[in-house]
Structure 1
Amino acid sequence: MRQRALLAWAASHRRDLPWRRTRDPWLVLVSEVMLQQTQVDRVQPYFEAFGERWPTPQQCAAAELADVLAAWQGLGYPRRARNLWRTAAIIADLHDGHVPADLNDLLALPGVGPYTARAVQAFAFGIDTGVVDTNVGRILARWQGRRLSPREAQRVADDLVPAGESWAWNQAMMDLGAQVCTKRDPSCDRCPAQLWCAWTGGVLGSESSGRPDPADRSAGVSSRQAPFEGSDRQARGRLLAALPGGPLPTERAAEAMWLERDEARAQRLVEELIDEGLITSDGNQLRLGSGRTCPRSS
C-alpha cells in the first residue's frame, strides 16, 4: 500500500528535470556528480551544456582539463570536475567506454561514493536499490521515528523499493523530500505517506511541529555548511574564475583572491590548487588545469 500510494502521488507531482529525460549512464553520472552539494536550479544549465559538449566518456577524456574546469566555472567544488574528467578516462580505458553497472566498479571511480553509485544503478540501469540522499535520509528517519545509522538507512531504503520500479520509486522519494517532507515546515497535512509516518503518529491531520525531529543528525542528512563568505572555498573560486581567459601572473594571485593583506594564506591556497591538479605554475604564471590530456589509467 505504501509504495502504491507514493507512486500515485509522484505521477502527478514529478519534477521535470533534464536528467530525468535520459537513461544514458554517462549523462546520469554527470548529473549526479553535478548535484553533489549543489541546488537543482543551478545544475540544470550546466548539465545541458556539458552533455552537448561531451556526450560520451571518450569525448570528455580527450578534452583538456582546463576546458572541463572552465565549463564547470560557477558550479562550485571544482574537484568534482577534475574527478569526472579522470573518471571518463577510466571508463574509456577499462570499461570500453561504457559506464559500469556493478556497484564495486562504480565505487572505484574517482569522486563516486555510495550515493552516486546507487543513483547511477537506479536511474541508468533500473537496478533495484535504494538511493539515499539528504532528502531521502530525512524521510526515512521520520518514517521510522528515530535516528538511523548509514547502514540502517540503506537497508530500509533497499527494502522499500518495489521490484522493477527503482527509477520511479527513488525519484518519488526525492520529490517528496523536496516538495513536502522538507527540512523546515514540512507539509504533513498533504503528505501521501502520513498514515505510516511515525513522526506524525500515523494520524491524518496530525501536526509534527513542536516534536523533536528524528532526522536531526540522522544518516543521510547533511549538517549545515560553514559560511561561504570569506572562506577558502570562496578565495579559491575567485582564482579559478580568473584563469579561463588565459594565464595569470603568479604575483597577482593574492589580488585575484582578494587576499592582498594575507599573502601567506594566498600562497597556501595556490599550493593546494596545484597539488590537486586544478592549476599549474611555471613559477611566473598560473594556468588552469594540470595538463593537456587526461592521464590514462594504468
Structure 2
Amino acid sequence: MQQEIIDWFEAEGRDLPWRQPGFTPWGSLVSEFMLQQTPVARVIPKLEEFLQRWPTPAALAASPSGDAVRAWANLGYPRRALWLHQCAVTIVEKFKGEVPRDVEDLLSLPGVGPYTARAVAVFAFGAHEPVVDTNIRRVIARHNQGNADQGPPSTQRDLEAMTALLPSPEKSPAFNAGIMELGALVCTARNPRCDVCPIAHTCAWKKAGYPEHVGPKKTVQKKYEGSDRQARGAVMALLRQAQHTVSSEELQACWPDHAQLGRAITGLLQDGLIELVADDSYQLPA
C-alpha cells in the first residue's frame, strides 16, 4: 500500500508551490495556516502575495498585526492571520528567527495544533512523523477499516492509526503527502474515483461492497448565510477596505440585524481582531 501510494503520488500529485524544491519552512508554515478550511485554489495567489511581502518571520513580526489581517483578505477565519503574526513574533523572540524543526517546539507556537506542527515538521524538514488530516483519515477508514466515513476525529486514535502505516523514515514524507493527495483527489467524500485508485484492489470498503457508514457522524457546520460568522465577515471587510478608523454609524450600515452586528463586534474585540480607538470608532489592530 505504502509504495503504491508513493508511486502514484510521484506520477499524479499536483504541482503546488509548497512542494517545490527550495520552498522555505516559513513558507510551509504560512501555507498550512492558509490551507486550514480554505480551498487550495484560493490559497495559492494569497500565499504568493504574503510571502513576497513577508518572506521571513522577522519581516512579518516587524509589521503591525493589522497589516497581516488586512492582507488575509477573503481567505476567511481571520484569527489565523493574527495567530500567524503571533507565531512570527514568537519565532523571532524564542527561536532566533528560524522556524523550529521539532514537533514540540512547533506546538508551542500560537495557533499551531497537532496537524500543523507535524505537517511543517514532515513537509519542511522531512521528519518521520504521522500527519493526519480529514483526507488521510478518510483513506484509512475506507482502505484499512472498511468504513465509508471517517467519523469524528480523535487525535490520539488517528495519530496511532497513521503511525502504524508509516514506511521507513526516508519514505515517510512522500507517503504522508501521497495519502493526503489521494484523499483530496481520488478517495473523496462524495463520488470516490475507485476506478483510478492505486490501492483499490486491497481496499476493505470496496471488498465489503461499499457499505453505508453506521458510526457517529461528523458535525455539520452551520449555514454561513445570515450567520454571526457572516456578520463578522462584513465588519472585517469594511475595516480592511477603510483607510481610516470606522465609526459605529458606518458599521451599522454594513449589516441589517443590529443585534447580530453587536455580537459580531463584541466577538471581534474579544478576539483581538479589531480595536476600539475612540467612543465610536474602530480599526484593525495596530
So what's the TM-score if we normalise by structure 2? 0.91
Q: What does residue 44 of structure 1 align with?
A: 44
Q: Give 1:125 deviation, angstroms.
A: 0.8
Q: What does residue 251 of structure 2 align with?
A: 253
Contact 1:69 1:288 in 2 (8 A): yes
Distance 2:274 2:158 in 1: 39
Whether 2:194 is the aligned partner of 1:188: answer yes
Alignment-mate amino acid for residue 181 of structure 2: D
Q: What does residue 96 of structure 1 align with?
A: 96
Relative to 1, partners in 2 of residues 1:116 and 1:214: Cα closer, same or farther, differing over 3 Å?
A: farther
Q: Give 1:216 deviation, angstroms.
A: 6.5
Whether 2:258 is the aligned partner of 1:263: answer yes
Distance 1:150 1:89 in 2: 28
Contact 1:274 1:280 in 2 (8 A): yes
1:1-298 equivalence runs, <5 A: 2-21=1-20, 22-143=22-143, 144-146=145-147, 149-163=154-168, 164-201=170-207, 208=210, 211-213=211-213, 217=217, 223-244=219-240, 245-246=242-243, 247-256=245-254, 258-259=255-256, 262-281=257-276, 282-289=278-285, 291=286
Relative to 1, partners in 2 of residues 1:65 and 1:215: Cα closer, same or farther, differing over 3 Å?
A: farther
Distance 1:85 1:226 in 2: 28
Contact 1:60 1:85 in 2 (8 A): yes
Distance 1:197 1:150 in 2: 23
Q: Give 1:213 deviation, angstroms.
A: 3.5
**Residue range with higher mean Cα deviation, 6-15 or 267-276:** 267-276
Alignment-mate amino acid for residue 280 of structure 1: E
Relative to 1, partners in 2 of residues 1:98 and 1:165: Cα closer, same or farther, differing over 3 Å?
A: same
Distance 2:201 2:215 in 1: 18
Q: What does residue 296 of structure 1 align with?
A: none
Secondary structure of the residue that 1:74 maps to in structure 2?
helix
Q: What does residue 294 of structure 1 align with?
A: none
Secondary structure of the residue that 2:42 maps to in structure 1?
helix
Contact 1:141 1:215 in 2 (8 A): no
Tell me the percent identity.
Answer: 44
Contact 1:129 1:157 in 2 (8 A): no
**Residue range with higher mean Cα deviation, 227-236 or 186-195:** 186-195
Q: Give 1:214 deviation, angstroms.
A: 7.0
Distance 1:214 1:138 in 2: 15
Instruction: Encode CA deviations 1:142-178: one digit per residue, 9 max, x unaligned.
Output: 1222467432221121222222123211111111111
Contact 2:229 2:264 in 1 (8 A): no
Instruction: Encode CA deviations 1:99-124: one digit per residue, 9 max, x unaligned.
Output: 11222211121111111111001101
Alignment-mate amino acid for residue 274 of structure 1: L
Relative to 1, partners in 2 of residues 1:69 and 1:238: Cα closer, same or farther, differing over 3 Å?
A: same
Which segments of structure 1 move beyond 3 Å, counting only runs of 4 or more?
146-150, 213-217
Alignment-mate amino acid for residue 154 of structure 1: L
Distance 1:267 1:42 in 2: 30
Alignment-mate amino acid for residue 146 of structure 2: G
Q: Give 1:224 deviation, angstroms.
A: 2.8
Alignment-mate amino acid for residue 275 of structure 1: Q
Q: Give 1:264 deviation, angstroms.
A: 2.6
So what's the TM-score if we normalise by structure 1? 0.87
Q: Give 1:215 deviation, angstroms.
A: 8.4
Secondary structure of the residue that 1:230 maps to in structure 2?
coil
Contact 1:137 1:215 in 2 (8 A): no
Relative to 1, partners in 2 of residues 1:5 and 1:196: Cα closer, same or farther, differing over 3 Å?
A: same
RMSD: 1.8
Alignment: residue pair count: 276
Distance 2:38 2:110 in 1: 18
